[in-house]
Amino acid sequence: MLLEVRDINKSFDQQPIIQNIDLHVATGEIVSLLGVSGSGKTTLFNIIAGLSKPDQGQVLLNGHNNVLKPGNVSYMLQKDLLMPYRTVLDNVILPLLLRKVPKKTARQKALALFKEFGIAGYEHEYPQELSGGMRQRAALLRTYLFDKPLTLLDEPFSALDELTKRTMHQWYIDMMHKLHLSTLLITHDIDEALVLSNRVYVIAGRPSQIVDELRLNPTRDASVAFELTPDFLTYKRRIITDLGV
Ligand SMILES: Nc1ncnc2c1ncn2[C@@H]1O[C@H](COP(=O)(O)OP(=O)(O)OP(=O)(O)O)[C@@H](O)[C@H]1O
């Protein structure tokens, strides 16, 4: 198993935030963790990324303990955090520079991927000159260049308008297949979780626990927009009931 999260508990100021969290991600899967704002998703994200210590429980990456071991997953935070004073190219090569790859080699490696990520022609622009969708693509390219077996995404598309978001979803699914990515996605967007995922964990309650796990039909007809099918509505109704919203 690529990622196994076992019985994670975390409190802040003696206030339990997440409790008995168990989840897993297999190689090649895209799995969503879905919950309302404040349910502890980012808290769990930081623990999985090795940035924060749980009070209890284990995080295993390919069977190895990852508690307080940052640098073993590729991750992208809610905000794209592109630096305004660096060009897009110089933003995306940061993970390579952190690994001490020489700048010229890093630039060559990144340049070869701009087309694939749909941002060819924007290499020497500054982030503020890009649309929201383009910025996210650049941020995802930077995340990809961390080159780790698991990608963690914290609400990567939440700032985008509906139409751009739809395009980005389809694009991300295609990229997942092309680049053989494995992804854990954190989101509060039910439609997004359903459209993108192989499985969805629903997190709810106080403290938050996993209250449901949905396995979405892997053989669904790709020529029909999933969000327009009766199956989609059935899943959505189930999640709304789980969340009590
Ligand atoms: N360092 C901290 N110290 C104290 N409380 C914290 C800390 N980090 C998070 N919390 C609290 O833990 C709870 C969960 O926060 P978290 O950011 O993990 O939720 P979330 O589901 O990611 O929310 P959002 O979708 O709004 O980002 C919140 O009540 C938050 O105030």
pLDDT at 19: 97
Q: Helix, strand or coil for residue 216? A: coil
What's the CA angle centered on 116, arms 160 and 184, to 5 degrees?
A: 55
Of the chain, the percentage scoring pLDDT greater than 70 comes to 97
Lowest mean per-residue pLDDT among 17-31, 96-110, 205-219: 205-219
Ligand 1, atom 25: closest residue by C-alpha: 37
What is the percent of the chain with per-residue pLDDT over 90, rounded to a whole number? 78
The set of protein residues with a Cβ atom below 6 angstroms from ligand 1 is 12-13, 17, 35, 37-43, 188
Is the whole model's pTM more than 0.90, yes or no? yes
> What is the model's pLDDT at position 222?
67
Please give the DSSP secondary-structure letter assigned to residue 208. Answer: B
Average pLDDT over residues 12-33: 96
209-215 and 64-65: which strand pairing? unpaired
Task: Find the 73 Cα to ligand 1 centroid distance in Å.
Answer: 21
Residue 45's φ and ψ, nearest 5 degrees, are -55, -50
Q: In the structure, what pLDDT confidence band is assigned to residue 81 with cuts at 50, 70 and 90?
A: confident
Q: What atom in ligand 1 is closest to the CA of residue 188?
A: 25
Average pLDDT of the segment spanning 6-33: 96
The pLDDT score that the predictor gives to residue 80 is 66
| Centroid of ligand 1 to alpha carbon of 122 (angstroms) | 35
| Per-residue model confidence (pLDDT) at position 235 | 96
pLDDT bucket at 77, cuts 50 / 70 / 90: confident
User: What's the pLDDT at 218?
Assistant: 66
Question: How do residues 210-231 score in pLDDT, each as one tens digit?
Answer: 999 999 976 666 667 888 889 9
Q: For residue 65, how far is its CA from the centre of ligand 1 (angstroms)? A: 24
The whole-angstrom separation of Cα 51 and Cα 47 is: 6
Q: Which residue has the tokens 């799995």?
A: 31
Q: Which of 101, 112, 172, 179 is nearest to 139 (CA)?
A: 172
ipTM above 0.90, yes or no: yes
When pLDDT is averaged across residues 121-135 and rounded to a whole number, the result is 94
pLDDT of residue 223: 67
Structure tokens at 6: 């076992």
Rounded to the nearest whole angstrom, what is the distance from the C-alpha of residue 187 to the centroid of ligand 1?
14
Identify whether the C-beta of residue 188 lies closer than 8 Å to the C-beta of residue 34: yes
Contact between 7 and 57 under an 8 Å Cβ cutoff? The reply is yes
Residue of the nearest CA to atom 16 in ligand 1? 40
Both tokens assigned to 52? 């924060």
Q: How far apart are the first and last CA of the chain?
A: 33
| Alpha helices (H) in 64-189, listed in sequence order | 88-92, 94-98, 103-111, 132-144, 162-179
Residue 23, helix vs strand vs coil: strand
